[in-house]
Structure 1
Amino acid sequence: MISRITGFLAAIAMAATLAVPPAHAQDQAASAASTAAVEAAPVIDAAPAEPAPAASKPADNPYSLANIVAHGNVVDQVVLVILGIMSMGSWYILVVRLWDTSKLASEAKDVRANFFKKASLADGIKGLKEESAFRYIASTAVEASEHHEGALTENIDHSSWVTMNVDRAVADVNSKISGGLGFLATVGSTAPFVGLFGTVWGILNALTAIGVAGQASIDKVAGPVGAALIMTAIGLVVAVPAVLGYNWLVNRNKNVMSQVRAFAGDLHGVLMGNRAIAKR
């Protein structure tokens, strides 16, 4: 196109040269030639260059957990909420019971070292912390030993009466440090199935959408099914710590409660020994 325009302008310049007086023919020819050269030069766009487009942000993964939380259906979100509650409850129980058993083990060590070296049971009890489980057991045992009266309780011998009260106090301590273990067992046994339910529901919705769209290519199937399988993975992530924590706490409780029962037995022996001495 540029060559055609150049040829057309050159023809006009030649006609003008023939029409002007001979005195100006050379000047006009040079002018025409320069004009033709200018016209023949490629046209340079003077418009400012457009700025380079900014680097685009990576596209959000439509099959990620965040997308399920933001755009999932009601069933998916309910399943995630249930699994979240299970997980938070499990970790809360693990931390609290770990603190309780550690505290009780520390108290047991201190009791073994100092309690029975006191001049009297009263002094031993005063040396224990107010919230100590061992102080609760000792106070219960001493109170039962000192208050064995009444028409009904007199039918129970003194040793059996003290034993019954001490056993009840020990059972209270055991019940406190065992609280929440049932929840851990429930989470460990049901969380995988809750996650599996979310997976089945997600796959059902994905296959239904694929059937409606009439497209069964791998990119249409893999994404939704993969997103649904996230539910199963979350269920396992919730269940495994609950099962491991349950077994761990059960073993810790056995070890700690064996020390508590040993203290209760020793305390019972001291009370019976004191009573025998008092009768003399």
Structure 2
Amino acid sequence: MDGLAQLVGQGDAVLLAVALLLLAMSVGAWIVILRQGRVLRRAGRDLGRAVPAFWAAPSMDEGRLRLEALDREAVALPLLDAALRAPCADTLEAGGSSESQLTRRLRDALHAVLRRLQSGQVLLASIGTTAPFVGLFGTVWGVHRALAGLSGDGGFTIERISAPVGEALVMTAAGLAVAIPAVLAYNVFGRWVGQCEAELEGFAHDLLELAGRAGAAAER
């Protein structure tokens, strides 16, 4: 970090802009990592408790109360509410069969929950892929400035080149330091979202079967 600060202090507006961009990327990535990490950990743990508690309830009302109490991130509750919600009258949705109406509502609710769970994934992927190149650009620019400054003094020596070039390489290290946590978090979060998605798809499928049995019983 001392090398980066020294390079920026001795550099021009381009190096300063690169350093500020890397700083903004790092701050943005860590905000997403801390926020979404908390959300996804809670969602995964709560699904493992809330869904079994719902199916163990003696009635639908009691099951909803249990789900609401245990599902702190509200990832399973929207699916249950979608299954219980009646379609609006005089709409195209109301003109379809009851099964297709329920399937559409559950699908829309599932997609809305997944969009919330995937929040920030695009930012992490973008930072993970672009930060090394931003750092590399800073390195190339720093080396160019160092060599241009030495050329005016006459003569090149290893001692005179190694110090400014070594400082310029700090930009590449800074880019990697920003990118690596973003890439690791993106991969871990993708796995957690996939696990939640599998749980929610199973829950939606079971709700569809439950509603179908309830509808068949009501028709008898």
Please say whether Structure 1 and Structure 2 have the same fold, judged by a TM-score greater than 0.5: yes
Q: Identify the match of residue 97 of structure 2 among 130, 149, 157.
A: 157
- Establish whether residue 267 from structure 1 lines up as the match of residue 196 from structure 2: no
Q: In structure 1, what residue type is equivalent to 2:146?
A: A
TM-score when scaled to structure 1? Answer: 0.73
Q: Which has the higher contact order (CA 8 A, sep 6+)?
A: 2
Q: Distance in 1 between matches of 2:91 and 2:109?
A: 23
Q: Identify the match of residue 96 of structure 1 among 25, 28, 35.
A: 35
Q: Distance in 1 between matches of 2:140 and 2:208?
A: 59
Q: CA deviation at 1:248?
A: 1.3
Unmatched tracts of structure 2, length 5 or more: none
Q: Secondary structure of the equivalent of 2:104?
A: helix
- Larger radius of gyration between Structure 1 and Structure 2: 1
CA deviations on 1:178-202 (whole Å, 9 max, x unpaired) are 1111111111111111001101110
Q: Which residue of 2 aligns with 1:134?
A: 76
- Establish whether residue 219 from structure 1 lines up as the match of residue 159 from structure 2: yes
CA deviations on 1:34-56 (whole Å, 9 max, x unpaired) are xxxxxxxxxxxxxxxxxxxxxxx
User: How many residues were matched structurally?
Assistant: 216
User: What's the C-alpha RMSD, in Å, of the aligned pairs?
Assistant: 1.7
Q: Which residue of 2 aligns with 1:200?
A: 140
- Establish whether residue 105 from structure 1 lines up as the match of residue 39 from structure 2: no
Unmatched tracts of structure 1, length 5 or more: 1-62
TM-score when scaled to structure 2? Answer: 0.91
Q: Distance in 2 between matches of 1:159 and 1:279?
A: 14
Most deviating of 246-255 and 104-113: 104-113
**Richer in helix (by share):** 2
Q: CA deviation at 1:73?
A: 1.6
Q: Distance in 2 between matches of 1:262 and 1:247?
A: 23
* Mapping 1:62-73, distance limit 5 Å: 64-73=3-12
Q: CA deviation at 1:131?
A: 5.3
Q: Distance in 1 between matches of 2:185 and 2:81?
A: 33
Q: Secondary structure of the equivalent of 1:119?
A: coil
CA deviations on 1:118-176 (whole Å, 9 max, x unpaired) are 22222211221375221122112100xx3364252343100010110111101011101
Contact 1:141 1:268 in 2 (8 A): yes
